[in-house]
Structure 1
Amino acid sequence: MGGRDANEICRSRLNALIPAPAPIPTRHAQDVPEEVLDFHRIKHAQVLLRIRFLRLADAAALPALIRDNPRAAKLWARYCEEEMLHEAFFLKDLNRMGVDTATVYATEPFLSVKLSMGYLEYATKHEGPMARLVFAYFNEAYSRQAVRQTWETVRGTRLEPLFSGYLAHGQYDDSHDHTDDVWQALSLILKTDADRERAVYHGGVWVRMAEAFQAELRETAADGSARSLLGTAPRSLFAPVTSSQGELEELSRQEAESLGAAALAGYPAS
């Protein structure tokens, strides 16, 4: 079997592993209860921190790609550049939800987030960049489904304005074909059957980490501790994402255009 055909079979196996998005809590009432907002506050904060951690993992994967596969490195570098400041979309939503920027960046990451980053650091150091690219493929493919589900859930509710950054980010990734972009880079380093089996293994790890993340979210929702987890880290983990006035205007333009395109297109499309 040719390498291209074998890779397409591998992609089908990876796609089969990607779970359906977990339902998100919402209330179609005039006033959204605080416990629902708290759930979304902690989830957004954790996703934002995970995004910044992943940017570190992105950079760690690049040197090996530059050394061994310049074409994959070029594709990966472009993807990283497009994603670099996208936590700002989530930060805008968190600010709308009443969480100040300093609190966001002083939030303790979930254990599942720490474990995911530890796994990627280990795999990149001892195996190479494949695990990071597989995780990126799963993140993009899963997010594509999750954003569509969120749009259907919050559209027409009081939560919709609080998710405009999240939805715009998803629409941006969709319009830029990030799932396919990452696959193109990943497919260039899948050269043997052993490579493809290892990619499927990394995909299984992603699924377990995602399940652990969702379990932590459910636990915080069940015991009412979501609000108390915000701003609890011993120190701020990262410098806040900052943007020039021009960049802020560009983010706002992307947000407006993305949501406008989504509405016109009846987003989400199946």
Structure 2
Amino acid sequence: MSNRVVNVGYQNRTPFLNAAASAQLRAEIDQQIDQQIEEWYATVPAAAHLEGKNVDSAYYKRNLIETAWRIRLLRVAESKALTEIAKRSPEAAQVWANYEQEEMLHDELFIDDLAKVGVSREEFLSVEPYLSTKLLTGYFSYLLDHEGPLGVVAYSYLVEYVNVKLEPRKLVALKDSVGESNIGGQISHSHTDINDDHPGEVWAALRFLIRGDDDIAALKKYLQEHQRLLAQYFEELYQDTLAGGEHAEQKEAVAV
């Protein structure tokens, strides 16, 4: 009689991609994301706003609020993803658990920065997340229920790669427009991403989850879909703050 226990990650322990193939695919994925970044700057309203000299106060604060909400909401789905990952690969689960441990409470870093520009914790809690954030959270749940954890991990690779590539440039600009003393949480978040090599950590989990060419094709598709969902958020943020002139009086550097 065969053992009916199967979802414990003891099958296919050898990665589909050897070290060289993994490095080659990662370079290919990074090139895809670089192209998506170019498309982002070309098509998303006010895509480089936080890199400018005069940062709109409402835009800046609302972005911090939504970032904190996204960490809070997505960490629930990402914690559920650990269960699905462990069923497939204990090695990937170990990497993912460590990554989540390092990221789990980073919402507090953004909430701390909000307090420095006059937004209290109570005010933060009174703001409901955007529809785009709710849709992204729902997409994660769909993936875990119907497609598996690969798409959830793919999102983290996209975000971590972009953060390490672009966040230092944004922080340099924010030091001038908002004040270095007011962005300590964001600096700490970026420091963790870069110094703990979060893109490399997430890629290590992806490598163990990729089981064939179909997964590679799915990974590329997930990155495109995640970019569209992220664009929806920044379009919503733009409409809520910069569009229409309703916040014209706030279109100046955030008070320090």
TM-score computed with the length of structure 2 as normaliser: 0.79
Identify if the C-alpha distance between structure 1 residues 90 and 73 changes in structure 2 by more than 3 Å, giving closer, same or farther: same
Cross-structure match for 2:119: 99
- Show the 5 A alignment for 1:60-139: 60-139=80-159
CA distance in 2, matches of 1:215, 1:80: 28
Runs (5+) with no aligned partner, structure 2: 1-15, 42-46, 248-256
Q: Give how far 1:6 is off.
A: 4.2
Question: Do residues 8 (structure 1) and 28 (structure 2) align?
Answer: no
Match of 1:17 among 32, 55, 63: 32
Runs (5+) with no aligned partner, structure 1: 227-270
The one-character-per-residue Cα deviations of 1:141-175 (angstroms, maximum 9, x if unpaired) are 11223311212212344433222211221112111
Cross-structure match for 1:202: 222
CA distance in 1, matches of 2:109, 2:63: 14
Identify if the C-alpha distance between structure 1 residues 225 and 143 changes in structure 2 by more than 3 Å, giving closer, same or farther: farther
> Runs ≥4 in structure 1, deviation > 4 angstroms?
25-28
User: SS where residue 191 of structure 1 aligns?
Assistant: coil
Q: Give how far 1:67 is off.
A: 1.8
**Residue 62 of structure 1 contacts residue 76 of structure 1 at CA under 8 Å; is this kept in 2?**
yes
The one-character-per-residue Cα deviations of 1:99-121 (angstroms, maximum 9, x if unpaired) are 11022123121121111111111
CA distance in 1, matches of 2:202, 2:219: 13
Cross-structure match for 1:153: 173
CA distance in 1, matches of 2:165, 2:63: 17
Cross-structure match for 2:74: 54
Count of residues in Structure 1 that have an aligned counterpart in Structure 2: 221
**Residue 7 of structure 1 contacts residue 190 of structure 1 at CA under 8 Å; is this kept in 2?**
no
- Show the 5 A alignment for 1:218-233: 218-220=238-240, 221-223=242-244
CA distance in 1, matches of 2:209, 2:106: 26
Segment of structure 1 superposing worse, 84-93 or 109-118: 109-118
Q: Between the two proteins, what is the percent identity of the paired residues?
A: 27
Cross-structure match for 2:183: 163
